[in-house]
Amino acid sequence: MGAMRLLACPDKFRGTLTATEAGAAIAAAAADAGWTASCQPMADGGEGTLDAFGGSNRTTAVTGPLGVPVDARWRLRADHAVIEMAEASGLVLAGGAEANDPMEATTAGTGELIAAAAEAGARHIVVGLGGSATTDGGLGALKAMAPLPRFRGVDLEVACDVTTLFADAAAVFGPQKGASAAQIALLTRRLDRLAEIYEREHGVAVGRLPRSGAAGGLGGGLAAAGASLRDGFELIAEEVDLYGQIEAVDLVVTGEGALDNTSFDGKVVGGVRRLAEAAGVPVVAVVGCAAPAPDAGWPLDLIDLSELYGPERAMSDAAGCVTEAVSDWLSRR
């Protein structure tokens, strides 16, 4: 009988580990236990989307969220491109909420990346939304992509990790981007007007489109340009054939930094659990910390690093904790 096979397919542990680093820590535990391991970093459309596809292999200088040029990483393989909007228009690039200008932050750089990908020969472009500094409704991106007819024949898919509607983007996400109550009201009116313009000029009713509010309305702007808005986890899982990878192993180990009820609503842990259950493969999640379990308990085996090692070590030595905890879990199976 051959060695047992494990697939590591975690999300990022925000603030401590990338999905790639978390996968490597899980794989190290598998090796310690005599298992063979493969890694597939996962994401739900936000930060980490590039990692899920194998990482960046190109860099392009583009307009940053506050107008200062930034070097944005992206990926091109054959005619397939992957772009992570946070690389060009992210809140981190703006210096966080404290330094951001929520009224002026622009998605122009993301549009420039999309244009660069098309000019490089990409005919299938995946854009991951998440971590944005912007609430410009994607107007900056569309201006940078002009003329839009050049994208005919380009399959533009947008990976979204929220279902927020276009005009709700300011109220839902504005505070975390540094917007005051007065600015949120102004941004909401601006989005309302922009929705009318997009419907009149492009024939797309973005105001009623689920996920159009992702990344401060960038989802809606790209939809007006002909993009399809997709559930981020489902899109990425399809692109990397996650179900096929799961079918080929004896155990799936997923994970994320903080587990709560939202983890099972369009996020990586819940999505991996559903696919593993459909394939008849057991799944365990290793997490930095977990909210109190609901009455019925969490719907999968769980390894809580904060519970095992305390919150301080779980944060300061996340990779070591993951390897140690998964190793111990495997040794008892």
Per-residue pLDDT reduced to its tens digit, 30-77: 999 999 999 999 999 988 999 999 999 999 999 999 999 999 999 999
**From the candidate CATH numbers 3.40.50.300, 3.90.1510.10, 3.40.50.1950, 3.30.70.520, the one assigned to the domain spanning 49-234:** 3.90.1510.10
Burial class (CB in 10 A: 0-12, 13-18, 19+), 312: exposed
For residue range 77-135, list pLDDT tens digits in order.
999 999 999 999 999 999 999 999 999 999 999 999 999 999 999 999 999 999 999 99
What is the domain class of 5-40+241-331 according to CATH? alpha beta
Alpha-carbon distances of 25 from 76, 94, 159, 207, 285, rounded to whole Å: 27, 31, 26, 43, 13
pLDDT at 231 over 60: yes
Q: Indicate the average pLDDT of the chain.
A: 96
Q: What is the pLDDT of residue 265?
A: 85
Residues 6+ apart with CB under 8 A from 34: 3, 4
DSSP single-letter state for residue 250: S
Would you kindly state where each structural domain of the chain is located, as residue ranges? 5-40+241-331, 49-234
Number of Cβ within 10 Å of residue 48's Cβ equals: 26
Q: How far apart are CA 166 and CA 249, in angstroms?
A: 41
For residue range 267-310, list pLDDT tens digits in order.
999 999 999 999 999 999 999 999 998 888 899 999 999 999 99
What is the token pair recorded at 110?
A: 């993301």
- SS3 assignment, position 126: strand
- According to DSSP H, which parts of the chain are helical? 19-32, 49-52, 86-89, 108-119, 139-145, 169-173, 181-202, 214-224, 232-239, 242-247, 268-279, 305-309, 311-316, 318-331
* Contact by Cβ (8 Å): 195, 206: yes
DSSP lists the bridge partners of residue 72 as 60
* Packing angle of the helix pair 214-224, 181-202 (nearest 10 deg): 10
pLDDT at 139 over 60: yes
For residue range 146-197, list pLDDT tens digits in order.
999 999 999 999 999 999 999 999 999 999 999 999 999 999 999 999 999 9
Report the chain's terminal Cα–Cα distance, integer Å.
17
Task: Tell me the one-letter amino acid at 52.
Answer: A
Locus of tokens 């098309």: 118
- Same fold: 5-40+241-331 with 49-234: no
Q: What is the pLDDT of residue 266?
A: 82
Sheet holding 155-160, edge to edge: 58-63, 69-77, 80-84, 124-128, 155-160, 228-231
What is the token pair recorded at 252?
A: 């799936």
Residues 6+ apart with CB under 8 A from 104: 66, 67
